[in-house]
Amino acid sequence: MSAAIFRNRSGRLRPHRRGVEAKPRFAFVVTVLFFILLYLPIGMVVLFSFNSQKSLTVFKHFSTRWYSAFFHDHVLLSSLGMSLKISLVAMIGSVALGVALALGLVRARGRLGSYSALIMLVPLITPEIVTGVASLMLYKGLNITLSTGTVMISEITFSISYVTVILRSRVAALNPEVEEAAMDLGATRWQALRLVTLPALLPAILASAVLIFALVFDDFVLAYFTTGVDPQPLAVRIYSAIRFGVEPTINAVGTLMLAGSITLIAAALSIPRLFGRSGGLDLLSGD
């Protein structure tokens, strides 16, 4: 092993192994392999969505015929409309309840608030398939027919924790004296909440709303266990279709869903900058 001589803080000469200063080539190779394994299948889906032929292994010419086929497929379009409807309702419901829960958890005093915060985190660490099976058993036990409404309720329940995690630290960062000052000037508690607290939380609320819309739109597991017969959400419809073979139209649908998700996530990260926050939003901490 080659070595070099350098001086420490006390001025003494000490040998130093060059390997410590060498670039971490192994880590670089592992990182490159990781990204290849992660994004190569996605890249193949995008590539073959523009294939002029039906083949899923040989790319012949660039074409948008499969995108045209998707926009003329009424079954897939109805599933797309259903996914957009479920995502919109789940976004509005989970954000409204998540804001109220975040305010309650931060303002609650004593052990009740701490225990509630821990319970709120359970859905985040629970496997989604467990949540899906539990929701299915609940609806069957209550003799509730699976439909679009059951999907919406399940998605709202599952998404509230994400909204609360994002907003809770933002609520904690607010100075409660500002709200108290508004009430000292004559505002009611509701007016102080509407005119002072909610505008301060608006960037985080909008960012969490966009994030929830993207998560629900792509969600398959929960929708699969709680959806009715027809029309099914787009993710479930795609799964049903590929059981009989992968059609190039599915590649086009997957590419459009990928582009939409990336756009929404970028919007969620950029919204705080529009309100003058230079650092953007940390989706894990809400800061």
Angle (CA) 167-131-126 rounded to 5° is 60
Question: 104: exposed, middle or buried (C-beta count within 10 Å: 0-12, 13-18, 19+)?
Answer: middle
pLDDT above 50 (res 2): no
pLDDT digits (tens, 9 = 90+) for 233-282: 888 888 887 777 777 788 888 888 888 878 877 877 776 666 665 544 55
pLDDT digits (tens, 9 = 90+) for 120-156: 778 788 888 888 899 999 999 999 988 889 999 999 9
Two tokens at 154?
Answer: 């399940």
**Ramachandran region of residue 245, left (φ > 0), alpha (ψ -120 to 50) or beta?**
left
3-class secondary-structure state, position 126:
coil
- Check residue 285 and report its DSSP letter: T
Q: Residues 6 or more apart from 152 whose CB is under 8 A from it? A: 86, 89, 90, 93
pLDDT above 90 (res 61): no
Task: Tell me how crowded residue 182 is: count the other CB atoms within 10 A of its CB.
Answer: 18
- Mean of per-residue pLDDT scores for the chain: 81
* Average pLDDT rounded to a whole number, residues 52-79: 85
Q: How many CA atoms lie within 13 A of 184 on its CB side?
A: 6
| Number of residues that this document lists for the chain | 287
* Average pLDDT rounded to a whole number, residues 67-73: 88
Two tokens at 189?
Answer: 């508690």
pTM: 0.75
* Average pLDDT rounded to a whole number, residues 196-201: 86
How many H-runs (helices) and E-runs (strands) does the chain carry?
Answer: 13, 2
Two tokens at 205?
Answer: 């609320």
Percent of the chain with pLDDT over 90: 12
pLDDT given at position 96: 93
